[in-house]
Chain A
Amino acid sequence: MPRFLTEFFKRNGILMGGLMLGLVLFWTIGLIILPQLSMLDFSFRPNLPPPEMGGPKDVYTLENYHHLIFGPEGASAAYNYIDLGVFFRTIVAAVCITIFNLILCYPIAYYLGQSRGNHVRIFALMLIIPYWINEILRAFALRIIFGQTGVLNTLLVSLGIFDQPYDFIRNDIALYAGLGYAYILLMIFPIYNVIESLDRNQIEAARDMGASWVRIHRRVVIPYAKPGISSGCTMVFMLSAGALAAPQILGGPSSLWFTQIIYQWFNDNSNWPQGAAYAVVLLVTCILLVMAAMRLFKVNMGDIGK
């Protein structure tokens, strides 16, 4: 037995140490690493009925990735414009939602982080309550509001802003509002946590030196809050790119989210390898984008989740 293991068991006892190690290994290897590798492996295989799996036809192939980029064999278009279009739209929309959420939440997080008193606790409570309501129900609530005969349309028509009900769902406005709505808390809390620990004297000092309001934020608050901002942005981006409930409920009939295509491959077309390939593409793209953004803004991975 290697020395570190002996030491570990001496420190924790055979039973407790074994239990601890077993649980952690089960989690990290059995639940995190192996399933991801298994999905990756699966995505390179052809779609075979169960009896033929492991048989002579079960060889590695790029067919599934080929399908995403070039479309099915013998298709008329040079590229798979539909799936690729949905893919890029999803990524771009997720980036836009992230930026929108950041702009929306930064002032709130700053305000909550810098004020003291009872009302901050109440605001925090009001922030948390919507988050514990089911994701489906939150999307449902927005659908009631944005519907053809919904509250918003009734209001706008009766105010005379529109003369006809505006179709928010078909134009994807409901979807973007819903995705932004769903992850507000994940943006506010990391930023709030960081700003709360910012010494107010720093801001006072900057103000005394004559710095303008914009300058204080640009030079003092934002650099300090960068870990919180990046972790909020990462979470919101990853979650909205990977969202499934909101697009299914709030998305227009003609527009899809990339996760919906993955869902279709799994549930409607029963082509698991194809779905796995799409999922791998989504995961890898998201991770690369987040890492690129972190490199750009000079933040460490270790800051996430604090």
Chain B
Amino acid sequence: MKLSFLRVSVWVYLALFFAYLLGPLVIMSITAFNSPSFPRMTPWECLTFQWFGALFQDERILNGIKNSVIVGAGTVILSVAMGLAAALLLTQIWPKMRASFYTLIIAPILIPGVVLGISTLVFWDRVARMLGLEPGGILSNGIFLTIIGQSTFIASYCMLVLVARLQRYDVSLTEAALDLGATHTQAFRKIMFPFMRPAIASAAVLAFLASFENYNTTTFTFGEYPTLTIELAQKVRYGITPAISALAFIIVALTVFAALANEANIRRRALTAAGPLVGSAPRSGLRLPRILSGNPAAILLVLVAITVITVVGTAMTYSPQQCIADVREVKQLKAQEAIDALRAAREAREPIQDDVPASEAPSGSGSSSSSFGGVFNPTNLGGTAEPPKAETGFGGVFDPTNLSVDD
């Protein structure tokens, strides 16, 4: 009995945890398809694809993507090279020095990104001045500084990935190649590099993603070349629109797609390695293609692809204009009703107020907190929906009697 209780609580905890983790992303993605110009999920108004259109017409976003790709490519090359060099050196350095060397090259991960950005900026500014370069030269170029600043800590990530693989490398392979007359460069290119290639590939992907999403360091170094993340931050800080949600949705979809593709690939290899007999016996009439059988990630991948194609197909033909017009009409109707209610309420109240002006004072002054004034008392609303915000500010202010009381 106790065990099952534990089980249930574990699952509840997992569900809550993943809701906290994934919920925000799901909600953000959904807001990309809702028509209000402030990203929101409730109330749902119209299904629309206009925000994707707005996104692709945004020059700054497109320019940011271009800069991000340039910076990402530079960072990948520099940090993979430095990470590989450091990983190789780590296996050769004499043991006494190893711990301090390791601490030194792992430290950039722990240094706050802000500090890295500042130190890069200050240092290269000083170097440029010492060399007598005029401001605006290569050393104060935003792309150069950003690549340098990001590589400082991204190289540490690469180093960690590469060291893990390097530990399984058999040094005698290189020695054998050297004995057979290969030069050191040849030995590296023909023996070491092919062995390290998977790790180098994953380090490169990691480096690119880390560079692409970096904000803290880049915000000090970008100069005249804002990356996508910088542009996004500017947009989010000064007014948010569902176009950002649309971009987020694209990124989420791409990430999920890539993750599933990777997972399916791993699973496919595992299945191939398990031998050709697995799953070869037909059990029922419905048989999945070979790639899909026993590979849930691949099935999911295909489903996601189909969904994306359907959504894009719908977006091409679907027009939300009718729905948006409807919603606008409903809103106008509501506003009109609210105005009518306001007017009716004022007319109904006028004679009463003349008799007892003093009793109006508390509700009049209390209107600042509720902002509904005395006018919006429930009976007056008479079944109309909640009035739009623009109307609420007026409260009972229009009553001449209120003015005299407030004095």
Q: Which residue numbers of A lie inside 8 Å of B, CB to CB?
A: 4, 8, 11-17, 19-21, 23-24, 26-28, 31-36, 38-39, 42, 50, 53-54, 104, 107-108, 111, 118, 121-123, 125-130, 132-145, 147, 149-151, 154, 181, 184, 234-235, 238-239, 241-245, 248-249, 259, 262-263, 266, 272, 275-276, 279, 282-283, 286-287, 290, 301-302, 304-305
Q: How far is the CB of A288 from chain B (nearest CB, A)?
A: 13
Binary A-proximity of B382-398 (CB < 8 A = 1, otherwise 0) = 00000000000000000
When the two chains form their complex, are residues B112 and A239 in contact, meaning their CB atoms are under 8 A apart?
yes
Q: How far is the CB of B302 from chain A (nearest CB, A)?
A: 16
**A129-B259 contact given A108-B17, A242-B115, A263-B219, CB 8 Å threshold:** yes
Q: Please, which residues of chain B bring their CB within 8 A of the CB of A28?
A: 86, 104-105
Q: How far is the CB of A197 from chain B (nearest CB, A)?
A: 14
When the two chains form their complex, are residues B251 and A286 in contact, meaning their CB atoms are under 8 A apart?
no
When the two chains form their complex, are residues B251 and A243 in contact, meaning their CB atoms are under 8 A apart?
no
Q: Which 7 A-B pairs have the closest CB atoms?
A: A242-B112, A13-B184, A35-B119, A141-B24, A35-B123, A23-B85, A141-B28
Binary A-proximity of B89-125 (CB < 8 A = 1, otherwise 0) = 1001010000100111111111111111011111110
**A181-B118 contact given A140-B236, A151-B41, A238-B112, CB 8 Å threshold:** no
By size class, the interface of chain B is: 35 or more
When the two chains form their complex, are residues A132 and B213 in contact, meaning their CB atoms are under 8 A apart?
yes
Chain B, residue nearest A121 (CB): B263
Pick out which of these stretches binds chain A: B50-58, B147-155, B340-348.
Answer: B147-155
Chain B, residue nearest A265 (CB): B118
State in angstroms the CA–CA spacing of A17 and B93 once bound together. 13
Q: Please, which residues of chain B bring their CB within 8 A of the CB of A132?
A: 209, 213, 255, 259
Listed by A's residue number, 23 A-B pairs whose Cβ atoms lie within 8 Å are: A20-B85, A28-B86, A28-B105, A31-B148, A32-B152, A39-B122, A108-B17, A125-B260, A134-B213, A134-B228, A140-B244, A140-B248, A144-B27, A144-B31, A144-B40, A181-B21, A234-B110, A245-B233, A259-B112, A279-B114, A279-B115, A287-B110, A305-B106
Q: Which residue numbers of B lie inside 8 Å of A, CB to CB?
A: 10, 13-14, 17-18, 20-25, 27-28, 31, 38-42, 81-82, 85-86, 88-89, 92, 94, 99, 102-116, 118-124, 126, 129, 135, 148, 151-152, 155-156, 160, 183-185, 188, 209, 212-213, 215-216, 219-220, 228-229, 232-233, 236-237, 240, 244-245, 247-248, 251-252, 255-256, 259-260, 263, 296
**A13-B82 contact given A130-B22, A135-B229, CB 8 Å threshold:** no
Chain A, residue nearest B94 (CB): A4
Q: Please, which residues of chain B bring their CB within 8 A of the CB of A272?
A: 121-122
Secondary structure call for the A interface? helix
Q: Please, which residues of chain A bring their CB within 8 A of the CB of B247?
A: 137
Chain B, residue nearest A275 (CB): B118
**A140-B107 contact given A39-B123, A150-B40, CB 8 Å threshold:** no
Tell me which of B41, B185, B251 contacts A133 (CB under 8 A): B251
**A145-B24 contact given A24-B82, A283-B111, CB 8 Å threshold:** yes
- Extra contacts, 14 of them, besides A181-B20, A242-B112, A305-B160 (Cβ < 8 A), are A14-B184, A26-B82, A28-B104, A31-B148, A32-B104, A38-B123, A129-B22, A129-B252, A130-B25, A132-B209, A141-B24, A143-B236, A144-B41, A144-B240
